[in-house]
Homo-oligomer: A and B are copies of this chain.
Amino acid sequence: MSVGENEETAGGPVDRGRLDKRRAIVEAALRVFAQVGYAQASLDVIAAEAGVSKPTIYNHLGSKEKLFRHVMTETAARSNAKTLDVLTAFPTDPDQLRPGLEDLATKLVDCYCDEQSESVRRLLYAEAVRFPDLFDAVRASGPNQFTEALAGRLARLANAGHLRVEDPVRAANQFIALVYEELPGMSALGTRPLDPADVAKVVTAGVDTFLRAFGTEPAGGPGKVSG
């Protein structure tokens, strides 16, 4: 038994201590990886940041590559869960479609612009060549699922006659594209803080365009016109 962390046998202060260290390692690793990149990240630095010594990392995670994979998948899973949870806010009342979509979009971009989300995205971009499987895994468990779920909601609204959508998946992708749009560029990929007012403008404009294209009301309806 090398690394038998039985979650069922929890309760002892021992395992708790080990798990704390493990989590400290993973959190520190994310910080360091995000700050200096995979190759530049030194395990000594990560160990120091985690308040742990280097071989402890090997005992827990095995190797630098495994640590990286673990950090990425775990962080992505957390972010993805939060993002999927946003769909709870999907509007069901057709009369509140616009404010509902704006609320949804605001929450969505909040998730996308979360610091951990941005870190993972940057690292995924950075290492897309050397960790293609990671890229696929994260996308499959995250954005793709969200798109599919959103597409389902849009399709329901379309069936009920509140939206004119022929290809729900494509419409979902376009919705995301419209409201997320230029935020990465504006924030330098999460490197600089965003002015919430600017974010709100982008979201409003995105939802506006989306409803112009897919809404059933006459164009230029309730949405205010001048930016």
**Residues of A participating in the B interface, judged by any CB pair closer than 8 Å:** 34-40, 122, 125-130, 132, 135-136, 139, 143, 164, 166-167, 170-171, 173-174, 177-178, 180-182, 185, 188-189, 191-192, 205-206, 209-210, 212-214, 219-220, 225-227
Contacts and interface: CB of A to CB of B under 8 A. Distances in A.
A135 B122 CA distance: 13
A217 to B, nearest CB: 11
Q: What 4 A-B pairs are tightest by C-beta distance, nearest first? A: A126-B126, A125-B125, A39-B39, A212-B213
A168 to B, nearest CB: 10
Instruction: Name the residue among A38, A182, A206 with the largest chain B CB count within 10 angstroms.
Output: A182
A215 to B, nearest CB: 9
A172 to B, nearest CB: 10
Nearest to A201: B170
A182 B52 CA distance: 41
Given A125-B189, A174-B209, A189-B125, A227 B167 contact: yes
Contacts of A188: 128, 132, 135-136
A189 B128 contact: yes
B191 A132 contact: yes
B191 A129 contact: yes
A139 to B, nearest CB: 6
Contact of A166 (B136, B206, B225): B225
Contacts of A37: 37-39, 126-127, 129-130
Nearest to A128: B189
Contacts of A185: 139, 143
Given A185-B143, A188-B136, A209 B205 contact: no
24 contacts: A34-B129, A36-B130, A37-B37, A37-B38, A37-B126, A37-B129, A39-B40, A122-B126, A125-B125, A125-B126, A125-B189, A128-B191, A132-B191, A132-B192, A135-B188, A166-B226, A167-B205, A170-B205, A171-B209, A174-B205, A177-B180, A177-B181, A209-B214, A213-B213
